[in-house]
Structure 1
Amino acid sequence: MMDAARRRLAEADAPRERLGELVQPRRILGMTRPLKIAPGVRVWHLGALLVADDAVLATGAILRAREEVRRGFTAESQRERAALAGAARRGGFAEGEVVHYDWTRLDLDAVARGEASGPLLVIDGVPSIHWSRAGGYTGLQGYLDERIELLEHPPAGAT
């Protein structure tokens, strides 16, 4: 099922986004250098899933890389998010580029054995996905078809 999805995405030349990995630089002469988010492989973002050429991942956090600037924040969470966006820019992402970090690699073999892996689970013999915290499970094949269709033909104004 995932191989067919990859082929369809590749044939459609669907847009890809990059994974990022948090890198805590080593201290030099006792000085702490700023955190970076290093660029990783390109993936297709299909909602709750990130599909790479050789893996399937559960989507974690997403941000856009941007140059870090001093500004006032009304919430600490805004400050932290701005710092992470700056870390992605320092790590080598282009200004405004989408960055996926804090993702989780899924074990498709475990799912094939009937075990859960992240949002994936087999229910009554049907591979299924828990696509949102508030939503229930839906069949994985239908979910993939719908998400790929949205990448192939985005709604007007979505890009």
Structure 2
Amino acid sequence: MSTAAVLDAARGRLVGAPQEAIGELLAPRRILGMARAPRIVRHGRAWHLGVLLLTDDAVLGTGEILRAREAAPRGFTAESQRRRAELAGAARRGGFAEGETVHIGWEVLDVDAVDRGAASGPLALRDGVPSVRWSSTGGLVPLESYLADRVDLLLHPPGGAT
């Protein structure tokens, strides 16, 4: 089965399942030499399936996940916390609802290249079977079973996960 066919089968099972927002960070142009605050703009919606984001017509590799929130003065013990808070504020400025989950830094994956034998993000062929690397240190697992598990988790989340 081709990679596209495996993804299409997953899409068929996901009809009506909740999707999450995907966004893109924009650094606005300066106006009269003054820098404006960056914002994250809506780029669409996708089903979040582990290391993959599945849209109606594409598959993306996940990047960062954040929740939109109003920017507020806060004290931070780490620069990474400050950066995440700035990104959450940028999402809110971009029009995302307070608390809405937003995916940024994603990459479009080339399904056709995978079927030709090349890797694209976490997707690759392994012995002719479309597969996915489920973590940066994890091995390849068959894409079909990986998606079956992820779709099932999305459709039937364990107690307390929602």
TM-score band, normalised by shorter chain: over 0.9
Matched, 1:18 2:51: no
Unaligned stretches of 5+ residues in structure 1 = none
Residue type of the alignment partner of 1:19: I
Q: Distance in 1 between matches of 2:156 and 2:79?
A: 38
SS at match of 2:46: strand
Residue type of the alignment partner of 1:130: R
Q: Distance in 1 between matches of 2:153 and 2:159?
A: 11
Matched, 1:9 2:14: yes
Report the Cα offset of residue 111 of structure 1: 0.4
- Structure 1 residue corresponding to 2:76, chosen from 67, 73, 77: 73
Q: How does 1:21-32 map to 2 (within 5 A)?
A: 21-32=24-35
Pairwise CA RMSD of aligned residues?
0.7
Report the Cα offset of residue 114 of structure 1: 1.1
Give the equivalent residue in structure 1 for 2:120: 117
Q: Distance in 1 between matches of 2:43 and 2:124?
A: 27
Report the Cα offset of residue 133 of structure 1: 1.5
Deviations 1:90-113 (A, max 9, x none): 001000000100001000000011
Give the equivalent residue in structure 2 for 1:108: 111
**Number of residue pairs aligned between Structure 1 and Structure 2:** 157
Report the Cα offset of residue 27 of structure 1: 1.2
TM-score if structure 1 supplies the norm length?
0.97
Deviations 1:49-91 (A, max 9, x none): 0000111000111000000100110011111110010000000
Q: Report runs of 4+ in structure 1 exceeding 2 Å deviation.
A: none
- Structure 2 residue corresponding to 1:127, chosen from 120, 125, 130: 130
Q: How does 1:26-105 map to 2 (within 5 A)?
A: 26-105=29-108
Report the Cα offset of residue 39 of structure 1: 1.1
TM-score if structure 2 supplies the norm length?
0.95
Q: Distance in 2 between matches of 1:153 and 1:116?
A: 31
Q: Distance in 2 between matches of 1:71 and 1:49?
A: 32
Report the Cα offset of residue 134 of structure 1: 2.5
Q: Distance in 1 between matches of 2:144 and 2:37?
A: 42
Unaligned stretches of 5+ residues in structure 2 = 1-5
Residue type of the alignment partner of 1:71: R
